Structure formats: C-alpha cells, structure tokens
C-alpha cells in the first residue's frame, strides 16, 4: 500500500528531516485486522508519552484520524507509523515550534512460521548489549543501532529471535520482542527503567494477567536466573506470543500459563 506523509500519499521524505539526521523521532508498528488498528489505545499512549519525553509537538487528533483512515485502506496487515520532529536546520537544537511529521507505511500480514507459536522458538544469545540511558528507556525511538547490530549476529533460521542483555548482564528483551518468565505461577518481566522498549503487548499482557488473578512482577532479572524459570516466552503486538523452548544450553517445555496467555494474545490480535 502507498505511504502517507502528513496525511498525503508520498513516496519520499525531505532530506532535512531530523528523523534521518539524528534518529530524532519515534515509531509504532501496529497490527491491522479487518481495517482496525489492534491495541490502538496502547500504541497511542506510548507514542504520546514518547513525544512528551522528547518534547516533540505532535497533533494528536490528526495522527489518530490518519491512523484509522490508513488502517481502513490496509484492511489486514501491519502498519508502521513514524513520527519525527520534522525538518531541521543545521545543528542539534530543536526549534521549539517545529511540528512533528507523520509517516505511515503499510505491509502485508507478517509471515512467520506457524511453528514459532506452536512449538516455540530458540533465542540467539546476542553479544550486543543494551546501553543504560534512563532518558530514553521504554521509548520506541528511532535510535536503533543496537538492535541492528544484534540482529546481524545471526543469519540461520534456527533462531527466530535473539535475547539482549544490558551491560550488567541483566535480561532485558528480544531484538523485536519483550520477554517474560514464569516461575511458581508468577509472571515476571524485566524492569525497563534503564533500557529496552516497553512493548504494547507486554503492557496488555501484564494488565490481562492482573485482571485474571495471575500474580505479576516487574523486576531486574540477572541472566543466571533464567535457569530457574518454569516457562519463558517472548511477545510483541504483531505476532502475539512465541513460547521459548531454548536459549544456549537452557531449555523449557511450552507450559500451561504460556498457552493460556497465548490464547489471550491471539484473541486480542483477531478481535
């Protein structure tokens, strides 16, 4: 499907855009089902939080209206919204009055092997570590060289995702997913106050678990603690949940709580 820039069909971007110059912007990757953006409120919430933290002036109402209209045209697929600080002049200083630029791109439904969700995946142990930057932690911003380097570490099809640690050796996230452990019936996911992207599916699963009486915990998870997990899974807002069956020498069965949450995630994506 054609791209839109600020609501108009376009196939090119101004060379002065600060998204290109500095990665000065944010993005959202949103599943679209039957013409509707899935988990729209959570995507919008994260994006607006990012705009606030980066002091990017985004026209909220126009952005939501464009998202909805674009999703209708796409009908089924994956929509990517990039928001940049707009054009810049020379130098890092942002113009306080600059208005954000909105870029919409559509792609077909993601074609992942069905086995990923059914049988689970193996995670590649990425050597690329995530740096600590509380000012950017949690945001889905456009500075993603760490993910590019991590994803370039493996080419085989055996590993569907990679696991990334921070500089202190804590488990943080997948390259394009969040990660959860289950131990003694508690749903545990890494604290993302230092680094990592606070995923929309992560937030929704935490909410759904709490609503249905499953205890949850957001905490630091040193790599050594992975071996004590009863179940492990990764998630994002496009594919839902993939059970993790192996990481390096560790392996896990696909457990009952993972299957239960997988059904929840699937229902959200197919709603």
Annotation says 210 is catalytic: no
Annotation says 16 is catalytic: no
Contact flag: residue 99 with a second copy (CB under 8 A): no
Q: Coil, helix or strand for 4?
A: strand
Q: Coil, helix or strand for 89?
A: coil
- Nearer of residues 22 and 203 to a second copy, judged by Cβ: 22
| Burial classification of residue 93, based on how many CB atoms lie within 10 Å of its CB (0-12 exposed, 13-18 middle, 19 or more buried) | exposed
Listed ranges 64-72, 104-112, 183-191, 247-255: which one lies at the site for a second copy (CB under 8 A): 104-112
As given in the structure block, the two tokens for residue 137 are 């932690």
Contact flag: residue 263 with a second copy (CB under 8 A): no
Annotation says 173 is catalytic: yes
Contact flag: residue 150 with a second copy (CB under 8 A): yes
Contact flag: residue 1 with a second copy (CB under 8 A): no
- The one catalytic residue among 140, 146, 216, 260: 140
- Nearer of residues 179 and 187 to a second copy, judged by Cβ: 179
Query: How far is the C-alpha of 160 from the C-alpha of 246, rounded, in Å?
Result: 11
The answer to whether 29 touches 78, Cβ cutoff 8 Å, is: yes
Query: Contact letters (x/-) for a second copy, 154-183, by CB under 8 A?
Result: -x-----------x-------xx-------
Q: Which of 149, 203, 214, 246 binds a second copy (CB under 8 A)?
A: 149
Q: Coil, helix or strand for 256?
A: helix
- Nearer of residues 146 and 230 to a second copy, judged by Cβ: 146
- Nearer of residues 177 and 264 to a second copy, judged by Cβ: 177
As given in the structure block, the two tokens for residue 77 are 């697929």
- The one catalytic residue among 173, 189, 231, 264: 173
| Burial classification of residue 52, based on how many CB atoms lie within 10 Å of its CB (0-12 exposed, 13-18 middle, 19 or more buried) | exposed
Listed ranges 57-65, 124-132, 202-210, 259-267: which one lies at the site for a second copy (CB under 8 A): 124-132
Contact flag: residue 55 with a second copy (CB under 8 A): yes
- The one catalytic residue among 29, 84, 128, 264: 29
Query: How far is the C-alpha of 181 from the C-alpha of 223, rounded, in Å?
Result: 12
Query: How far is the C-alpha of 42 from the C-alpha of 251, rounded, in Å?
Result: 32
Query: How far is the C-alpha of 4 from the C-alpha of 10, rounded, in Å?
Result: 5
Listed ranges 22-30, 39-47, 58-66, 240-248: which one lies at the site for a second copy (CB under 8 A): 22-30
Q: Using alpha carbons only, what angle is made at residue 268 by residues 114 and 221, rounded to the nearest 5 degrees? A: 75
Which secondary-structure segment (H or E) carries 142? none
C-alpha distances in Å from residue 94, one per residue of 56, 59, 112: 9, 17, 39
The residue ranges that bind a second copy (CB under 8 A) are: 3, 5, 10-24, 27, 54-55, 78, 80, 82, 84-85, 90-94, 96, 103, 105, 107, 110, 128-129, 131-133, 135-136, 141-152, 155, 167, 175-176
Which positions are catalytic? 29, 140, 173
């Amino acid at each position: 499907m054609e791209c839109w820039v600020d609501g108009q069909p376009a196939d090119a971007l101004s060379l002065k855009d600060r998204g290109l110059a500095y990665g000065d912007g944010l993005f959202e990757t949103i599943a679209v089902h039957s013409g509707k953006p899935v988990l729209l409120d959570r995507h919008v919430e994260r994006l607006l939080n990012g705009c606030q933290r980066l002091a990017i002036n985004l026209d909220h109402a126009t952005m939501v209206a464009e998202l909805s209209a674009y999703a209708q045209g796409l009908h089924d697929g994956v929509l990517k919204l990039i928001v940049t600080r707009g054009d810049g002049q020379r130098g890092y200083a942002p113009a306080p009055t600059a208005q954000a630029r909105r870029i919409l791109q559509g792609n077909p439904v993601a074609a992942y092997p069905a086995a990923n969700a059914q049988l689970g995946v193996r995670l590649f142990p990425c050597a690329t570590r995530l740096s600590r930057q509380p000012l950017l932690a949690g945001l889905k911003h456009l500075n993603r060289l760490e993910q590019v380097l991590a994803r370039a570490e493996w080419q085989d099809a055996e590993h569907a995702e990679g696991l990334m640690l921070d500089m202190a050796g804590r488990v943080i996230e997948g390259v394009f997913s969040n990660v959860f452990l289950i131990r003694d019936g508690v749903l545990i996911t890494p604290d993302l106050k230092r680094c990592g992207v606070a995923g929309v599916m992560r937030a929704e699963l935490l909410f759904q678990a709490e609503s249905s009486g499953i205890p949850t915990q957001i905490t630091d998870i040193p790599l050594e603690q992975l071996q004590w997990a009863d179940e492990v899974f990764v998630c994002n807002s496009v594919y839902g949940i993939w059970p993790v069956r192996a990481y390096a020498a560790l392996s896990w069965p696909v457990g009952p709580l993972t299957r239960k949450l997988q059904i929840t995630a699937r229902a959200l994506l197919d709603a």
